Amino acid sequence: MAKKKLNKNWLHDHINDPYVKLAQKEGYRARAAYKLKEIDEDEKLIKPGQVIVDLGCTPGSWAQYTRRKLAGKEGGGIEGIIIGLDMLPMEPIADVHFIQGDFREARVLRQLEVLLAGRKADVVLSDMAPNLSGIASADAARMEHLIDLAVEFSQMHLKPSGALLVKCFNGTGYSQIVEKFRSEFKAVAQKKPKASRDKSSEIFLLGRGLKHPIENKVLVDDSALDI
């Protein structure tokens, strides 16, 4: 009974959420677009001409926002390149290259390298999150694992001067994640956009300037994500 009431309350809050209504009005697939929008406007992350990689991109609202920021003159096309990766399928978005699969697999990395054509990303975005079990220590470990993957990916595919934005949760293990970010990036900011629900422990970390970029090295693990 309690679970049913909780689901009903969530549905009520979701339907009446102003960001949900705004997303429907402006054509975004999820309210998450406004989290990225606020961070981008504050930090001036996304600019025409950039190479942007979106990890865990499904359903695509971050890619949609990014595409609008890179849109060129009227008539179509974008200034730059957007590559989205996810293990889940995603409905196509104009001018966004989508690769379905685990970005640690050789097959996926080969597709990515073809699209990058020798270039490095200006920005790597990650809205990835594990399926939460409710066990704080286990969930913290899974979240940290995903962030480690995003950092490793950035070390290989991000420009030394580039930026990585990841989602995490402010709870068990969060301080260790922040310290790890500081050990890998020259500048680190913690962002809590207004579109993040007050009840949520969700917070975003932004790292700029890699301390330890990896040149000409591809880390490949053919195992599936264990989250």
Give catalytic residues, as residue numbers.
167
Which secondary structure element, helix H or strand E, spans residue 9, and what is its range?
A: helix 2-15
Nearest by Cα to 53 from 81, 91, 20 = 81
Distances (CA, A) of 4 to 11, 128, 131: 11, 27, 20
Residue 184 near residue 210, CB atoms below 8 Å? yes
Residue 202 near residue 196, CB atoms below 8 Å? yes
Q: How far apart are CA 94 and CA 86, in angstroms?
A: 17
| Token couple for 177 | 């994640």
Dihedral, CA of residue 40, residue 102, residue 90 and residue 138, to nearest 10: -70
